[in-house]
Structure 1
């Protein structure tokens, strides 16, 4: 039997989220693929054209269009837009099983703080004497801590891709809001018989 091709799209709040989440998602899909007996081909997540901070109707239209071409669509929001992903799923109820919310407790930047070694690799010239918070999702301002870790460079977002490529998935799995989207992604992939 021929292997199937798995396609995945992502809508995020902004580009800096994409730079971190795209490599993390690709690595997580590869990890899930190792769990399955079916096997599939996958060439990486594709980002949509609009950001999820756009008006809800625009996001619904974008997701509807993406569902024509992709098996699953991930919708990223930070805490202040938490209900929008569920509203999109409700608006597209017939496809809700193929729409997976990806929502941190506060901000995606908190997830970037989970692995001290990955932070050291992303900032080899920085003094990393500071400590990674025990519960990164309780940090009131993860962007400020991340900026300190990255040396407050003007374009620190460039390091987000490197963090996404190197952050330990096991460390991310300990983060409370990370686990649900992985479980939802696994369930959506199982429903479509990719796992």
Structure 2
């Protein structure tokens, strides 16, 4: 039986997480089809809350076995975000099996650890400038990982002037690519929120698959 999995992310560039969902499924020997609808294409604007996205997705299709619901912790605790997601599911789509995906503080924290990938995305794979990347044990304490990631890609590129401006404009695309390149067995495997995501997804897949 192939599981139909719905992934609702915070933004379109988070779609790079889909290959990782598929890899985790392969690791537990559960066949899946992952749908990650871009709700921004809908005629009626969809709000940013989990409940808004769930409501819009349910109107498109109810034919899912499991949902992954992404919500960055930001300035809130993981428990607060879990409660928010749980309340949203209960109100909008009762009985939906789901896994909360809660990076601390933002998903960009998962992308700040792979030096080789950052240099590759920056277009300067053989660069030598010191990027001063955080350690896995401290990356979840970085106040604004999105800002730090953008600055780090710029630094790794060693570009100046107009070329640097052009690179910075491509940040959403580069962020998406970094997420695709993320090594599940690399430093991110030591990050608490990532390990929780993988563990809970694995268990949910096995449970839904029977």
Short-chain TM bin: 0.7 to 0.9
- Residues 109 and 146 in structure 2, CA contact (< 8 A), matched pair in contact too: yes
* SS of aligned partner of 2:112: coil
Query: Structure 1 184/99 Cα, relative in aligned 2: closer, same or farther at 3 Å?
Result: same
* SS of aligned partner of 2:63: coil
Larger CA Rg, structure 1 vs 2: 2
TM-score, normalised by the number of residues in structure 1: 0.78
TM-score, normalised by the number of residues in structure 2: 0.73
Q: Which residue of 2 aligns with 1:11?
A: 8
**Residues in 1 aligned to 2:184 and 2:49: alpha-carbon distance in whole angstroms:** 32
- Residues 24 and 202 in structure 2, CA contact (< 8 A), matched pair in contact too: no
- Residues 50 and 85 in structure 2, CA contact (< 8 A), matched pair in contact too: no
**Residues in 2 aligned to 1:103 and 1:47: alpha-carbon distance in whole angstroms:** 19
Aligned mate of 1:62, from 52, 56, 59: 56
**Residues in 1 aligned to 2:130 and 2:5: alpha-carbon distance in whole angstroms:** 38
Q: Shift of the alpha carbon at 1:124?
A: 2.5
Does 2:180 match 1:165? yes
Q: Shift of the alpha carbon at 1:139?
A: 0.6
Q: Which residue of 2 aligns with 1:107?
A: 106
Taking the TM superposition and a 5 Å limit, the aligned residue runs for 1:25-40 are 25-36=18-29, 39-40=30-31
Q: Deviations over 1:130-175 (max 9, x none)?
A: 1210121111111221111221612211112221221111232211
Unmatched tracts of structure 2, length 5 or more: 155-163
Q: Which residue of 2 aligns with 1:77?
A: 71
Unmatched tracts of structure 1, length 5 or more: none
**Residues in 2 aligned to 1:190 and 1:169: alpha-carbon distance in whole angstroms:** 19
- Residues 63 and 73 in structure 1, CA contact (< 8 A), matched pair in contact too: no
Aligned length: 182
Structure 1 vs Structure 2 CA RMSD:
2.7
* SS of aligned partner of 1:192: helix
* SS of aligned partner of 2:169: coil
